[in-house]
Amino acid sequence: MARDYSLGIDIGTTKVAAVIADPSRRSILESTSLDHNAGVVNRKVPGSSEQSVEALFTAVTKAVSQLSSHARENVGAVGVTGQMHGVVLFNAEERGHSHLVTWQDARCNSGSFLSDLQSLTGERSLRSGFGVSTLVWCKHYEPEVLHEYRSASTIHGYLATSMCGCQGGMDPSDAASFGLFDILSCRWKEDLIRRCGLDSQMLPQIVKAPRIFGRVGCDWASRLGLPQGVPVIVPIGDNQASLYGSLSDPDTQIALTIGTGAQVSVVLAENPRQLPEEGSSFEIRPYIDDRYIAVGASLGGGRTLAALSTALQDFLRGLGLNPLPDPGQIYTVLQSLAESRAETTLRADPSFAGERYNPDLRGSLTAVSFENFTLGDIFASLSRGIVDALRQMLPAEMYCGRREVIGSGNAIRRSVLMQRYIEQLFGVRLVVTPGGETTCAGAAFLAGRVL
């Protein structure tokens, strides 16, 4: 029986998504998503951000199972993507694993650890939340963890390993997010890895997607309702998957995603001969088909706006006012108030959590007056500040010849005001992607190339 459909799975920071696609038409036939609520508290490690692998995989199973059985039976290839930079340790044979340490993890920012690591390796681009940074932290503070597990990967890399019962490699898009990877030669920097006291054998071999990672085993085939033996392609990073799923003309388009986090990306016309200087606000990452992208990635984005809703709820609680509206209701009201304050003179820097290129950076409100010190002004200025901060992350010349912004992420879709700011600040028209799962779609479309 011909199996012409492809399945895409995306393990995100807050949700899991799954789509069935017809890759020949680049169309989504079915899609679903759900919050995974996988966060776990590690009180022993200040600044930690961890998630339960079991909860994530349960959410994957539930999401895929919500797709029609007929569509799943006609899946001929599977693509997997997910949150970059994070790391999970595991033993493939015994199937034991650690928690996922996410990209939001800040344990390496404590004391001088990160600066010492950067000095040791000469790699100023290493940040807390990067896979290698977390592994080196474990080497120093939890060495028993590295003795217990023999392999490390992204969460979506580990999902592919679990589905296929093998370790089929890591795409450069994920390897670059780990750290200590030479993106121009597509090789691990093994001398620096050894200098950090790590065993390079823990890291997957480099294999470029859409090569086949492995084939779905009996357990996961039954769990997901897929034909046994369906190929799974080498997983890719969610940034690259989002671009592959949304850009129809990558040489003339800008990709802008504002969800929990936020990113601005452009596919480079020419492959770089050198990388940005240390401390730059953007980075060069590998893309599909031996191309590269320039990416400005913010630690803020939609969660900065959500933080205002949560803070207001806390203020009301502190005043003893009950019953309290939930943050979602507050968010809706704030959006409505901001619509009439679009031209606010209030200015906001949304870097509440710092940025990867400057972890000590913090947000601010400036040009405050009696007239603009309102909730509508604050929400509007934060929305504009998020867009403007992203725009400024890439050099102006990289926008030359770009005719439109392809926007994705709920923070863009839910806010007409933010859409207006995008067109004003970038100076080109905005096209908002029609579906909510462009990242997942990108993984499915790429998987379709092996059909």
Residue 145 covered by a domain? yes
Mean pLDDT of 310-334: 92
Domain count within the chain: 1
Signed CA dihedral, 255, 274, 112, 90: sign only: positive
Q: What is the rounded distance in angstroms from the CA atom of residue 22 to the CA atom of residue 327?
A: 37
Q: Which two tokens stand for residue 219?
A: 């357990």
Q: What is the rounded distance in angstroms from the CA atom of residue 137 to the CA atom of residue 114?
A: 9
Task: Select the more confidently predicted residue: 325 or 446.
Answer: 446
Residue 71 covered by a domain? yes
Signed CA dihedral, 98, 43, 134, 272: sign only: positive
Q: Which two tokens stand for residue 39?
A: 């966060």
419-429 pLDDT, tens per residue?
Answer: 999 999 999 99
The secondary structure element, H or E, covering residue 348 is: strand 347-349
Query: What's residue 259's pLDDT?
Result: 81
Q: Which two tokens stand for residue 79?
A: 């693509």
Residue 262 covered by a domain? no
Helix (H, G, I), strand (E, B) or coil at 138: helix
For the cut 90, the answer to whether the pLDDT of residue 176 exceeds it is: yes
DSSP type of residue 122: T
Q: How far is CA 154 from CA 49, 159, 240, 380, in A?
A: 15, 9, 14, 36
Q: How far is CA 261 from CA 12, 84, 299, 357, 390, in A?
A: 11, 12, 5, 15, 11
Query: What's residue 4's pLDDT?
Result: 94
What pTM was estimated for this model as a whole? 0.84
* Helix pair angle (416-426, 375-391), 10° resolution: 40
For the cut 90, the answer to whether the pLDDT of residue 218 exceeds it is: yes
Residue 38 covered by a domain? yes
Q: Which two tokens stand for residue 19?
A: 């789509």
Residue 149 covered by a domain? yes
CB hemisphere CA count around 44 (13 angstroms): 3
Mean pLDDT of 338-349: 96
Question: Do residues 74 and 5 touch, judged by C-beta distance below 8 A?
Answer: yes
CB hemisphere CA count around 446 (13 angstroms): 35
Residue 10 covered by a domain? yes
Nearest to 244 by CA among 200, 308, 288: 288
Mean pLDDT of 180-206: 95
- CATH number, position 121: 3.30.420.40
Range of the domain at 75: 5-240+438-450
Residue 103 covered by a domain? yes
Beta-carbon count within 10 A of 41 CB: 9
Q: Which two tokens stand for residue 201?
A: 């054998």
For the cut 60, the answer to whether the pLDDT of residue 211 exceeds it is: yes
Residue 246 covered by a domain? no
